[in-house]
Structures are given as C-alpha cells and as structure tokens.
C-alpha cells in the first residue's frame, strides 16, 4: 500500500495536507457551525476520502475517472444547501431547492450514458457555473446588507471568493486546453495551475469554517 504513495509530487502532498486540515477542522467545529456551513463541513471529509481513493486507483488500476462522477452530486448538494440557508431571496431559495435533485439526476445520466468511462467535465462545469452565480448573489446580498462587520469577518465572503476564483480558473484552463495542445506546450503548466487553485480553494474554505459561528441573528441566516 505504501508503495502507491511513493514519489508523489510535492504540490499534491501539500494539497492533500491542506484538505486533511480543513476536514479535521470541519469535523471538530461542526457542532459550533451555523446551519448554512454544516453542509460545507460535511463535504470536506467526503472530498478527502474521494481524493485519496482517486490517487490509489490511479496508481493501481490506472483509472480513477469514476471518482469525479461520485463526488460531484455530493459537492453540488452540499454547497447549494449552504447558499440556500444564506441567501434571503425566496425565489432563489426555491430555485436552489429545485436545482439540487435536477442536477443529481443529470449527473447520474451523464455518468451512465453521456460520459461513461470519462472525466465528469459536463457535471463539473455545470456545477461551477452555479457556484459562480451563487457567489455573485452572495456578494450582492453582503453589499446591500446593513451588517456592520467587515467582509473579512463574514464566512460566506471567503466561501464565495473561493468558488469564484476556482470556477474562473477552471473555465480558463479548459479554454486554454486546445491552444496548449495545438502549440505543443507542456500541459504540466495547466496541471500545476489546477493543483495550486485547489490548494487555494480549501485554504479559503478553511478560513470560512474557522470564523463561522452558529449565530443566526448575527449572520442573518434563515
């Protein structure tokens, strides 16, 4: 088993260390978190387990594509629930509640028929579009809110920033993919970019989980 993890790239080890730290903090602070962030906290250990299994499969059977299909519906559901509890607009809440089961069905169809045996790029791109929209809506709500605390002290700001940066980077990566291949540029650049953005994503989520507290009136969650 330990042979599988030898000669791993340093950046991957850093990424997994950050993800593990975020997962541990999420579990330790779970009871103290607001309802909104409990679902994000649940997602962290699930992601760590999924990434670990993905690496083992990549080193043993040389195919870990199924892991992307397995994690995506959980990721979409957990993050959507966080924004469902934070965003105040009733129409937005109803839309999120409707989109969660629709997306899960879409992901299953995509995994079985559309991208069977392939990376779940359709599902991931779709969920990232939603996350970017969620982030923009949360920014709008924060800006229009009469909350006196700075944005830096509001966990949803860090979560939204994390997904906005990560989503934008993923869109950029796939946009540049064909250019890189056509001009025979090493794709390691894009791979490293993705790894670094994953590290940043979970570092920012870690910040959100550390500063969040179950104070509904203070954070104005419903």
| Residue range 36-78, pLDDT digits in tens | 999 999 999 999 999 999 999 988 988 888 999 999 999 999 9
> What percent of the chain has a predicted confidence (pLDDT) above 70?
88
pLDDT of residue 192: 80
User: What mean pLDDT do residues 105-117 have?
Assistant: 94
In a domain, 3, yes or no: no
Instruction: Name the pLDDT band for 12 (thresholds 50, 70, 90).
Output: confident
- Going by C-alpha positions, the residue among 12, 5, 16, 25 that lies closest to residue 205 is 25
pLDDT of residue 193: 84
C-alpha dihedral sign at 100, 84, 151, 35: negative
In a domain, 219, yes or no: no
- Going by C-alpha positions, the residue among 87, 97, 91, 94 that lies closest to residue 142 is 87
Instruction: Name the pLDDT band for 182 (thresholds 50, 70, 90).
Output: low
Q: Is the pLDDT of residue 2 over 70?
A: no
Give dist(CA 218, CA 222) in Å, integer.
11
Q: Is the pLDDT of residue 3 over 80?
A: no
Q: Is the pLDDT of residue 210 over 50?
A: yes
Residue 191 CA: distances (Å) to CA of 11, 111, 144? 11, 23, 38
Q: SS3 for 202?
A: helix
In a domain, 120, yes or no: yes
In a domain, 2, yes or no: no
35 or 146: which leads in pLDDT: 35
Q: How many domains does the chain have?
A: 1
Instruction: Name the pLDDT band for 181 (thresholds 50, 70, 90).
Output: low
Lowest mean pLDDT among 7-16, 25-34, 52-61, 119-128: 7-16
pLDDT of residue 164: 97
Q: What is the pTM of this model?
A: 0.89
pLDDT of residue 40: 98
pLDDT of residue 10: 84
The residue range of the domain holding 145 is 9-214
- Mean pLDDT of the residues in the chain: 89
């Amino acid at each position: 088993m330990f042979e599988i993890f030898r000669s791993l790239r340093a950046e991957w080890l850093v990424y997994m260390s950050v993800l593990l730290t975020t997962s541990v903090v999420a579990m330790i602070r779970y009871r103290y978190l607001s309802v909104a962030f409990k679902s994000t906290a649940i997602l962290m250990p699930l992601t760590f387990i999924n990434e670990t299994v993905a690496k083992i499969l990549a080193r043993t059977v040389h195919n870990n594509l199924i892991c992307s299909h397995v994690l995506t519906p959980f990721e979409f559901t957990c993050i959507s629930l966080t924004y469902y509890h934070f965003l105040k607009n009733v129409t937005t809440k109803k839309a999120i509640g409707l989109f969660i089961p629709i997306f899960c069905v879409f992901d299953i169809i995509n995994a079985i028929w559309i991208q069977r045996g392939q990376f779940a790029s359709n599902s991931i791109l779709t969920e990232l579009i939603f996350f970017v929209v969620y982030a923009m809506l949360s920014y709008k709500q924060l800006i229009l809110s009469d909350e006196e605390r700075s944005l830096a002290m509001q966990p949803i700001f860090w979560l939204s920033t994390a997904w906005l940066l990560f989503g934008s980077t993923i869109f950029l990566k796939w946009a540049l993919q064909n250019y890189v291949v056509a001009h025979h540029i090493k794709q390691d650049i894009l791979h490293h970019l993705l790894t670094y953005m994953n590290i940043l994503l979970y570092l920012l989520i870690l910040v959100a989980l550390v500063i969040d507290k179950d104070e509904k009136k203070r954070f104005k969650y419903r």
